[in-house]
Structure 1
Amino acid sequence: MVDGSANECCERLAYYGMSTNLVNYMKTRLGQVNSVASNNVTNWQGTCYITPLIGAFFADAYMGRFWTIAIFMIIYIFGLALLTMASSVKGLVPTSCGDKDVCHPTDAQAAVVFVALYLIALGTGGIKPCVSSFGADQFDENDEREKKSKSSFFNWFYFSINIGALVASTVLVYVQTHVGWGWGFGIPAVVMAIAVGSFFVGTPLYRHQKPGGSPLTRIAQVLVACARKWNVAVPADKSRLHETVDGESVIEGSRKLEHSEQLACLDRAAVVTAEDGAEASPWRLCSVTQVEELKSVIRLLPIWASGIVFAAVYSQMSTMFVLQGNTLDQSMGPRFKIPSATLSMVDTISVIVWVPVYDRAIVPLVRSYTGRPRGFTQLQRMGIGLVVSIFSMVAAGVLDIVRLRAIARHGLYGEDDIVPISIFWQIPQYFIIGCAEVFTFVGQLEFFYDQAPDAMRSMCSALSLTTVALGNYLSTVLVTIVTHITTRHGRIGWIPENLNRGHLDYFFWLLAVLSLLNFLAYLVIASWYKYKKTADDYPGAKGEHGTEH
């Protein structure tokens, strides 16, 4: 567990060491305007959370989580090394830097940067979906003491991630801004190399989950078998449905799942007919556990979709919050200026503060009222985070109204004019997002691991991470649409190159409204969801699978 947390801490240090200040790198070293730089960052970040589907597939189907983590970490290091070279090696660094240190790279130089970034995105794909699951695998679910400890694991796992992010948003951003991009990207490469070494050192101590074969194949088999028996009646006595006789599931590394009443149409795949012989093909006859695997995934999808808007809000920290901070007074004393990207450390500090508060204070307090081991149910926890995130956008919008009024009052409409408002007034919006993360993102990690079938835990963890990807893509789409609509007929638009003449506050209000609508939809989705049978740590669960929310 410790090695897994340390590994992810190093990976997050490297990731945030790039992503936190990447929008400014795009603007200065690649000569891109605000909207293009913002979209390139969110597209790359989105890809970093889509590639986990690839890594998770290999982990669950063939390689197991250990070897998937090891191989993809090496790819990650290659990407970091190439990015370091692109920022420091003569010939790869643009030489056409003019006023304001804005460069104009050749197509080849820009291509090297993007190849490096997307190699890193691929490497991330094998690490992120496996490390949390691999860490949780180290706890024996048959041991009550270890099972109880696992409920706190995800909180402290996320805590360790943010330790890495804190170092990245302070030390690395400072190095990038005041020492150089080569050092700023080189340090994460060294850290990741150390992480690889420490990961292999702990090899003899790990517990390994056996890969269960391709989960996509099993899903396809259920769908094909169901289609072939579409006209077959499902027996009222569900014990007549096909299942293995012995106590073990036919799926390697997976326990049997109890039959559930939801999505009953899929039960046809487990109906035994006269045409099914003793050795019926799995493309014609599936076990109840295999059918329930697919049901579990389908039940997760609406919950998964509700996290996309939240992720779009979260992505503003590395784009619009940074651009907003660029226009504010960054002075910290007479001689020092804090880089706007460094303020993301407030989000990290917020998480570091809220994790122990949640685990040691809030959970015991709520537990005393609800009687549940975790205090809140997982769905309640995520819902609270969705509500909290709305207030982050409200705080950002209010600050921008104040900023625009100061601009009007002092006539600061020049592109380089600094608004006489301290950048530290951005602290509330960052701090609130950190609080929301502890509820929603950590809740998602735990929820998707706990509710996933045993042999699909990496895949379902990757599925939860894709909400971040789609949130970044949604942000890109929103920025593109807003820019297109608001610049019609020669208007300057909400997000112009000169933000002192724009209306960034309108964009924050748009996200606040979308977040509110998303939460209302989430309430409906959560009321429909039923926890799977094996989640027996909800003492108030009702019926066969529990409907407590």
Structure 2
Amino acid sequence: MKFKGDSMSGVMELSVDWRGRPCKANKHGGMTAAVFVLGLQAFEMMAIAAVGNNLITYVFNEMHFPLSKSANIVTNFIGTVFLLSLVGGFLSDSYLGSFWTMLIFGFVELSGFILLCIQAHLPQLRPPHCDMVSDGENCLEAKGSKALIFFLALYVVALGSGCLKPNIVSLGADQFRRGDTEQSRRLSTYFNIAYFAFCMGELIALTLLVWVQTHSGMDVGFGVSAAAMAMGMISLISGTLLYRNKPPRGSIFTPIAQVFVAAITKRKQICPSNVQMLHGSQNQVPATSANVSNLLHTEKFRFLDKACIKIQDGEKESPWRLCTVTQVEQVKIIISVVPIFACTIIFNTILAQLQTFSVQQGSAMNTQIAKGFKIPPASLQSIPYIMLIFVVPLYETVFVPVARKVTGRSSGITPLQRVGIGLFIATFSMVAAALVEKKRRISDETVSIFWIAPQFLIFGLSEMFTAVGLIEFFYKQSLEGMQSFLTAMTYCSYSFGFYLSSILVSLVNRITSASSHSGWLSDNDLNKDRLDLFYWMLAGLSLVNFFNYLFWSSYYSDNPSLSPPRQNDESPEQDLENRGRETLKHMNGCSWK
């Protein structure tokens, strides 16, 4: 079913307002509506970043968990935030829609911040205060009801933030109709502006909010995070009347499961030589890439094509035995993006080190920058975001127009090229971290904290390429009704990266431990640990991962129906002719092997 009133290059697109009525092109959507979503993006990032980036300090100093355990608590928390994004994407696409999912889980996240504030404020909910250095084993870590309340608050925040994140991206992007070149340019611009809002939120969190946590206490800091989250919810609600909403379409997993069941059931069948004999095959190319309700057949993963074979003409088969070409191609897209997704896990494992061990690394350095003023170690993470609030606009206003003239693409370079550049740069972040840590360990004097700035700067630049490129890639590869879920896969990469960090810390400690000495990261003293060797190991893994990404990205190919809009020097007739060639290219029959 497609509503009138929201035409896009001659194709009617399903979008409704908050009441479920058809949208009006001159009233709903556009950058005006997206601004309210960007407001939530900035405030929510401000709130969660202030907690996540300095959480290790609170867990180690106030809750008295050992250093390696504290690092794992932080990485597991952040990993859970991003893993739960799959839940938010599923609920949005299948049952609630992006707006209502954001509204519900935004208040869930807000309640988690309030509970954290209460836990940090009341002494009876925390273990007795002590000095981890002088008191040693007398500092008992939080247990029982104290630990329960802490972890409950922490994971309520994780549930709310995780379910919110993919829908912020998808709701904002849904305000731009997918189709012609101009809309595609605005969509790419939106992704860059969204990252700029992310950087602003991070910057304020890592400077102002971390300073408040350090000087006024973590209870006040958590309270400020709650206030920031409340401001974000006000911004979201303020744009209610302007949003273009994609209504939910039922379970997104059922059609996927049907394809696998049907393909396995008909595994002994042979595909017809003519693709047009497959059930639901399209005889003509769509007039615009916005019409993604029907996908063209492709030759990859040809075993799945057996789900489209008709056994008996004229008789209706169960949807668990006979699927359309579009259903099958949808599953092929999901399978195709998995290797790309997997190649960004190591990248996010590096990010985990910058939010845990690098913060502790800064704590062991000279934080004095002026008489009577010391910089909080967590605030050093703000340095790349100071750089990025200037670099991101330059990327959009200078690099993209120049690259657009060379490549003819609305976004300048492809999302996959952008991801690859970021993955390559990330390796040098760990190289810089290893060199600085070695210098810190062998230096006779306390090294200035600004020596660890390069590792943050390099990674910040790599994140601008990788994070934005990955989100844009997943959103543009998604079909109607699956934008939030596929976008959530981006955040799952963060989740697996942080979980992998926890596994690596434990594994490295076990492998490097011996009877005569402890493991690289097993002590609570960085002067005894070998963090530099751990960083060198991550640099090597990152470089290997980059070459692995080059292989999979060169292997990946888009479905012709989801191909980018025409180049800026092509006429609509030329674009249609080119799409016709793509159709003929992909309609050469299917093999049974």
**TM tier, smaller:** over 0.9
For 1:265, the equivalent position in structure 2 comes to 303
Q: Choose which of 56, 66, 72 in structure 1 pairs with 2:99.
A: 66
Tell me, yes or no, if the aligned pair for 1:330 and 1:340 is still in contact at 8 Å. Answer: yes
Matched letter for residue 311 of structure 2: T
Q: CA RMSD of the aligned region, Å? A: 2.2
Aligned to 1:19: 52
CA distance in 1, matches of 2:564, 2:52: 40
1:399 aligns with 2:426: no
8 Å CA contact 1:96, 1:104 repeated in 2: no
Residue-pair matches, total: 531
1:39 counterpart letter in structure 2: N
Name the aligned partner's letter for residue 376 of structure 1.
I
Contact 2:61 2:132 in 1 (8 A): no
1: distance between equivalents of 2:217 and 2:140? Answer: 14
Counterpart CA distance in 1 for 2:423 and 2:354 is: 16
Question: Which residue of 467, 481, 488 corresponds with 1:441?
Answer: 467
The alpha carbon displacement at 1:47 in A equals: 0.4
In the alignment, is residue 57 of structure 1 matched against residue 95 of structure 2? no
How far did residue 256 of structure 1 move?
1.2
Q: 1:131-186 CA distances to partner (integer Å, 9 max, x unpaired)?
A: 11110100122454333211111111011011111111011111111111110000
Would you say the 8 A contact 2:65–2:142 is kept in 1? no
Deviation, structure 1 residue 4 = 1.0
Partner deviation per Cα, 1:189-243 (whole Å, 9 max, x = no partner): 1121222222122111000112122111110011111111111221121122112
State yes or no: 1:536 paired with 2:564.
yes
**Partner secondary structure for residue 232 of structure 1:** coil
- Kindly state the Cα deviation for residue 369 of structure 1 after the two structures are TM-superposed: 2.7
Deviations 1:266-306 (A, max 9, x none): 1111112217724x321111111111110000000000000
Q: Which residue of 1 aligns with 2:510?
A: 484
CA distance in 1, matches of 2:180, 2:421: 31
Aligned to 2:550: 523
Counterpart of 1:342 in structure 2 is: 379
Which residue among 457, 462, 468 is the counterpart of 1:431? Answer: 457
Gaps of 5+ in 2: 1-33, 568-574, 587-593
Q: SS of the counterpart of 1:544?
A: helix
Q: Is the 8 A contact 2:474 2:486 kept in 1?
A: yes
Cα pair distance change 1:260/1:519, threshold 3 Å: same
By how many angstroms is 1:425 displaced? 1.2
Q: Does 1:306 align with 2:343?
A: yes
Aligned partner of 2:440: which letter?
Answer: R
Identity %: 38
Relative to structure 1, the CA distance from residue 89 to residue 311 in structure 2 (aligned partners, 3 Å threshold; closer, same or farther) is: same
- Pair 12,219 (structure 1): closer, same or farther in 2 beyond 3 Å: same
2:9 is matched with which residue? none
Structure 1 stretch displaced more, 337-346 or 84-93:
84-93
Looking at structure 2, the residues matched to 516 and 118 of structure 1 have their Cα atoms a distance apart, in angstroms, of 33
Specify the alignment match of 2:113 in structure 1: 80
Cα 1:462–1:234 change in 2 (3 A) is same
In structure 1, give the amino acid aligned to 2:476: D
* 1:129-208 → structure 2 map (5 Å cutoff): 129-142=166-179, 144-208=181-245
Deviations 1:319-358 (A, max 9, x none): 1111111111000112111111110101222332321122
Q: TM-score, normalized by length of structure 2?
A: 0.86
Distance 2:177 2:35 in 1: 15
* Structure 1 unaligned spans of 5+: 411-418
Deviations 1:400-455 (A, max 9, x none): 1211220xxx3xxxxxxxx5211011111101111001110100010000012222
SS in 1 for 2:487: helix
Code of the residue aligned with 2:318 in structure 1: it is S
Q: Is the 8 A contact 2:276 2:283 kept in 1?
A: no
CA distance in structure 2 between the partners assigned to 1:507 and 1:350 by the alignment: 27
> Would the aligned equivalents of 1:276 and 1:285 in 2 still touch at CA under 8 Å?
no
Distance in 2, Cα, partners of 1:88 & 1:460: 39
Q: Structure 1 segments of 4 or more deviating over 4 A?
A: 98-104, 244-248, 538-543
Please identify, of 102-111 and 431-440, the stretch whose mean Cα deviation from structure 2 is larger: 102-111
Conservation of the 8 A alpha-carbon contact between 1:325 and 1:340 = yes
Residues in 2 aligned to 1:221 and 1:457: alpha-carbon distance in whole angstroms: 20
Given that 1:366 and 1:376 are in contact with CA atoms closer than 8 Å, whether structure 2 keeps it comes out as yes
Task: Summarize the alignment of residues 53-132 of structure 1 with structure 2, pairs less than 5 Å apart.
Answer: 53-98=86-131, 104-132=141-169
Q: Which amino acid aligns with 2:301?
A: L
